[in-house]
């Protein structure tokens, strides 16, 4: 008996018995399924494997396309989220308090929940703690068709105020979750303070200098500087130069920046 290799002519096949109004995606899907049936009937495993790879690539492409169609429509309906959270903690030297407002993660989640459901988008977080307690948060945004995108950010425990070790880690986790989520989905928070970004870009207009950098403002911005330095977006020298362009840093403040662990 002569050995023969059966060849399935993919380009020759035309789906049959397809309703005229069937969406093209479903037509293609049924077309691929018919090809797989033919491969199984022929007994050619090589042909079957190639067809399965073709089907997987096609489905991944369709999922990616669905995601990038849904995301801009989602963003076009996003509300501007206001800062309803208020942080307040005493200075370590006992002189005064630092207070600032921020958009709470639960407020962001509540505001975007209906739109996520409308456009079949969801998100989740992954968390990892590495050397020297470096915390890494990854926000994973997924479309119902299967495509996902990841946004990652890292930072060290927040040592501002009089937090214990657990509170320091929790504060950084919440901070990183807020910023990875807003970054991944393109969410705007009103009246965002961008001192850390300004230090990286060297693009903000300088303010009138005072004798020393106000302690409350320094403590407010220190975590952002720390995170920006740890992520490699800026250097310690960038932060010091930018801060000095606004207010003169004291020796103790400069030392705090120089002691940031990279």
214-238: pLDDT as tens digits? 877 787 788 788 877 777 778 888 8
End-to-end distance of the chain based on CA atoms, in angstroms?
71
Average pLDDT over residues 92-113: 77
- What integer pLDDT is reported at residue 206 of this predicted model? 33
* Residue pLDDT, tens place only, 21-71: 544 455 556 666 666 666 666 666 676 677 778 778 888 888 999 999 999
- What integer pLDDT is reported at residue 1 of this predicted model? 46
Tokens of 121: 């988008």
Average pLDDT over residues 70-89: 81
DSSP 212: S
Total-model pTM? 0.55
Q: What are the CA-CA distances from residue 104 to residues 179, 207, 219 (Å)?
A: 11, 29, 19
3-state helix, strand, coil in the chain (%, to 5): 50, 15, 35
Q: Check whether 17 has a pLDDT greater than 60.
A: no
**Percentage of residues of the chain with pLDDT beyond 70:** 66
Q: Is 157 exposed, middle or buried (0-12, 13-18, 19+ CB in 10 A)?
A: buried
| 13-17, 79-83, 137-141, 215-219: the lowest-pLDDT one | 13-17
Rounded distance, CA 202 to CA 239, Å? 9
Average pLDDT over residues 184-208: 53
Place of tokens 């950098």: 213
Strand partners, 122: 142
Rounded distance, CA 42 to CA 65, Å? 33
Q: Check whether 193 has a pLDDT greater than 60.
A: no
Residue 113: helix, strand or coil by DSSP?
Answer: helix
Q: Check whether 245 has a pLDDT greater than 50.
A: yes
Assess contact for 45 and 75: CB atoms under 8 A. no
- What integer pLDDT is reported at residue 16 of this predicted model? 40
Q: What are the CA-CA distances from residue 111 to residues 41, 100, 102 (Å)?
A: 53, 21, 15
């Amino acid at each position: 008996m002569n050995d023969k290799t059966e060849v399935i002519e993919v380009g020759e096949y035309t789906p049959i018995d397809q309703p005229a109004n069937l969406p093209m995606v479903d037509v293609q899907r049924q077309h691929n399924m018919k090809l797989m049936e033919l491969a199984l009937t022929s007994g050619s495993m090589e042909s079957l494997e190639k067809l399965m790879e073709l089907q997987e690539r096609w489905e991944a492409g369709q999922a990616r396309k669905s995601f990038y169609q849904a995301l801009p429509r989602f963003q076009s309906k996003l509300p501007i989220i206001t800062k309803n959270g208020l942080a307040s903690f005493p200075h370590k030297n006992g002189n005064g308090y630092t207070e600032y407002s921020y958009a709470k993660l639960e407020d962001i989640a509540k505001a975007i929940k209906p739109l996520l459901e409308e456009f079949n988008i969801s998100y989740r977080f992954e968390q990892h703690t590495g050397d020297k307690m470096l915390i890494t948060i990854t926000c994973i945004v997924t479309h119902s068709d299967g495509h996902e995108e990841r946004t990652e950010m890292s930072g060290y425990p927040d040592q501002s105020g009089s937090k214990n070790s657990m509170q320091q880690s929790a504060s950084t986790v919440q901070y990183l979750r807020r910023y990875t989520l807003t970054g991944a989905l393109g969410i705007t928070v009103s009246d965002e303070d961008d001192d850390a970004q300004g230090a990286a870009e060297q693009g903000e207009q300088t303010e009138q200098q005072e004798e020393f950098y106000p302690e409350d403002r320094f403590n407010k911005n220190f975590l952002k500087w720390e995170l920006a330095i740890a992520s490699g977006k800026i250097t310690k020298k960038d932060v010091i130069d930018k801060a000095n362009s606004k207010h003169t840093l004291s020796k103790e403040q400069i030392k705090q920046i120089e002691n940031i662990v990279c």
